[in-house]
Structure 1
Amino acid sequence: MKSYLFTLLAGLALTTSLFQCAPKGDGYTYAVISTEYGDMKVRLYNSTPKHRDNFIKLANEGFYDSLLFHRVIENFMIQGGDPDSKNAGPNQMLGQGGPGYTLPAEIGKVHFKGALAAARLGDRQNPQRNSSGSQFYIVDGQPLTEENIQNLEQNFNKTYTPEQRQRYLEKGGSPVLDGEYTVFGEVVEGIDVIDKIAAVPTGQANRPARDVRMTVKVIDK
């Protein structure tokens, strides 16, 4: 059965016309993802226009409202955006739903803590690494060490600028996902909300034992 759960290395399971929204103010479009644990304000990247515009379109349609963060892993990520989660029963398996289309990959940005990225099917089913049309994850992660970064560069063919290295050392993230998934935004306010959601008790398939629902609204800035 196919599932939009992305994988971490060898085991950690991780179109239609688009509504164009002109960036305002500082040139970026922002959205607020609201939960009972607080609000996360996200900046959407202009360097990933297909993912940016699709997220704006779905948010403006109310697509994400009342959906769950259906999969959370502390110190790694929180995942949501499956439309099947809106009316899901307590034991229902989630992670397979979407809007009926995928998005072409726009891979480039890295997975700092707070990165907003698109979930997708694994490489075997999806060699082009197309993204789910709606499911996304937000990186939790922990600060890295110099040894961690050197290992990634030497053994996993990853390269980081001095600025990227410093941010991973200070703020953390999930760099093992770099180059594998499309990062299309980042949390700029409410980073503590990620930690709160990631720490909730979970059951089967890392689904929170008590539902964590969201609403998403596009804002000017």
Structure 2
Amino acid sequence: MSVLLETSLGDLVIDLEVDLCPKTCENFLKLCKLYYYNLNAFFNVQKDFLAQTGDPTATGTGGESIWSYINNNSQSSTRTVPRFFTPEILPKLKHQTKGTVSMAVAPPSESGALGGCASQFFVTLADSTEYLDGVHAVFGHVVEGLDTLDKLNEVFVGKDFRPMKDVRIRHVVILDDPFPDPPGLEPLIPSNPPTKPPDAGSNSFFGIGEDEDPLATLPEEEEEKKRREAAAKSSALTLEMVGDLPFANVRPPENVLFVCKLNPVTRDEDLELIFSRFGVIMSCQVIRDKKTGDSLQYAFIEFDKREDAEQAYFKMQNVLVDDRRIWVDFSQSVAKANDYWSNDITRGPGKKRGLGLGSGFGGREDLVQTRRYRDDGHDKRERGGGRGEYGMVFDVPSSDSRRKDRDRDSRKRSRSPERERRRSASPRWNDRRDRDRDRDYERRRDRKR
């Protein structure tokens, strides 16, 4: 009677001693039938000694026998079935050769619970391990797949003998099963094998997955592409942090053209008239110096459709405009996403452009603008704010509060003893004091009359 174990390192065919160890073999076969061992990890691999598996938790403390499993998962059963069963340790079956399959026998616990066999088993990786005789229960031998055992013996392990890269039983195939199913087993057989390792939620080990290749390398072109993408992402995050980008994954608009090498005399109306033959233009703006108003000899032209912008790009490249050969390219600026383009003095500082952005943020319906400041406006005077209010996250006193603080400080200074002494010593102050005293005297006199 045989079982095929398909592991991540190769296949193992195990012949079972069903005549000498019937209960152990029945327990093993019925657990295989329930896909109990599928995706179980070899959690204990010791070089030239053994490789242990069969614990769904991959900790060495889990697992149960088939009869305990049926009892715990059956709704009709009320009786208690022990987790372990009595091991079948026979003097005839010894751990002499490499590939001996044996049930791990748990010792009695300190609480008084009896030990025994459950679901955990191991395969020896070397000959002459007779010191395991009488301690663990042999129930089979590996007849095919000794090269798989050699690979298993050479895996790198950590301090707890857990392989650094997971080695798992991917699937179990029962080649022959002479035992009838115990009562209650049939309803528990799943329709499909599990696709997720039973210990996937355990935090006991963080290593390399059995389907990962830590030494895999990509072609040089792909590696360079990944490095460039990582560098671009890092730069975009930095620009977002310093405020140059509204958000890191912003993309430049595809319907905006960048035109440079313009003649300083070229106006917005001239460019709009020239480019309007390719489609509807939403905005056309020659960028000018903020102070002088002189043209900086480049402009942005926004079309209604991306196809119109592409046609203008191909047709207007190196065309003569006002005795200058212009250069046309797609805009890489993302300033449009902030609803502010440039410092065009003809519209005033901080004025919004009519760019046809619509709803959403940055011209995209699926984006929402996040607020970094208390007031997103650039000109606080237009929004009701006083001059000098920054509107940043930290608190800045308003103009009224600053005026009150200034008046309070001036009153404090006016009442200081040193200031009173100086004012009283001044001839001008003495004259004023005499006038005020005479005026008060006359008022009191008039009031008495």
Which interval holds the TM-score relative to the shorter structure?
A: 0.5 to 0.7
What are the equivalent positions in structure 2 for 1:74-89 lying under 5 Å apart?
74-85=47-58
What are the equivalent positions in structure 2 for 1:38-187 lying under 5 Å apart?
38-46=10-18, 47-85=20-58, 94-99=59-64, 101-108=83-90, 109-111=93-95, 112-122=97-107, 130-131=116-117, 133-141=118-126, 172-187=127-142
Quick one: distance in 1 between partners of 2:9 and 2:28?
22
Quick one: distance in 1 between partners of 2:128 and 2:100?
8
Distance 1:199 1:123, change over 3 A: farther
- The aligned residue for residue 202 of structure 1 is 157
Quick one: distance in 1 between partners of 2:145 and 2:46?
18
Contact 2:105–2:135, Cα closer than 8 Å, also in 1? no
- The aligned residue for residue 9 of structure 2 is 37
The alpha-carbon deviation at position 123 of structure 1 amounts to 6.1
| 2:168 is aligned with 1:213 | yes
Distance 1:113 1:97, change over 3 A: same
The alpha-carbon deviation at position 220 of structure 1 amounts to 3.1
| Code of the aligned partner of 1:217 | V
Q: CA RMSD in A?
A: 2.0
Quick one: distance in 2 between partners of 1:60 and 1:75?
30
Contact 1:140–1:173, Cα closer than 8 Å, also in 2? no
Quick one: distance in 2 between partners of 1:128 and 1:177?
20
SS of equivalent to 1:211: coil
Question: 1:41-83: CA deviations, max 9, x gaps?
Answer: 0001020111100110000110000010111001000000101
The alpha-carbon deviation at position 122 of structure 1 amounts to 3.2
Distance 1:193 1:127, change over 3 A: farther
SS of equivalent to 2:27: helix
Distance 1:107 1:128, change over 3 A: farther
Question: 1:112-137: CA deviations, max 9, x gaps?
Answer: 21111011223676997622x11000
Contact 1:42–1:188, Cα closer than 8 Å, also in 2? yes
SS of equivalent to 2:134: coil
Quick one: distance in 1 between partners of 2:108 and 2:62?
18
**Which protein has the bigger strand share?**
1
Greater alpha carbon shift after TM alignment, 115-124 vs 202-211: 115-124
Distance 1:177 1:35, change over 3 A: same
Q: Which runs of 5+ in 2 are unaligned?
A: 69-82, 178-449
Question: 1:95-151: CA deviations, max 9, x gaps?
Answer: 1111252121100111121111011223676997622x110000112xxxxxxxxxx
| Code of the aligned partner of 1:105 | P
Quick one: distance in 2 between partners of 1:130 and 1:51?
11
The alpha-carbon deviation at position 179 of structure 1 amounts to 1.4
- The aligned residue for residue 6 of structure 1 is none
Q: Which runs of 5+ in 1 are unaligned?
A: 1-28, 86-93, 142-171
The alpha-carbon deviation at position 205 of structure 1 amounts to 1.3
| Code of the aligned partner of 1:120 | V
SS of equivalent to 2:57: helix
| Code of the aligned partner of 2:88 | E
SS of equivalent to 1:194: helix
Larger radius of gyration: 2
The alpha-carbon deviation at position 195 of structure 1 amounts to 1.9
TM-score (norm 1): 0.65
Quick one: distance in 1 between partners of 2:138 and 2:5?
16
Q: Which has the higher contact order (CA 8 A, sep 6+)?
A: 1
Quick one: distance in 2 between partners of 1:120 and 1:180?
7
Contact 1:72–1:202, Cα closer than 8 Å, also in 2? yes
The alpha-carbon deviation at position 197 of structure 1 amounts to 0.9
| Code of the aligned partner of 1:44 | L
Contact 1:139–1:173, Cα closer than 8 Å, also in 2? no
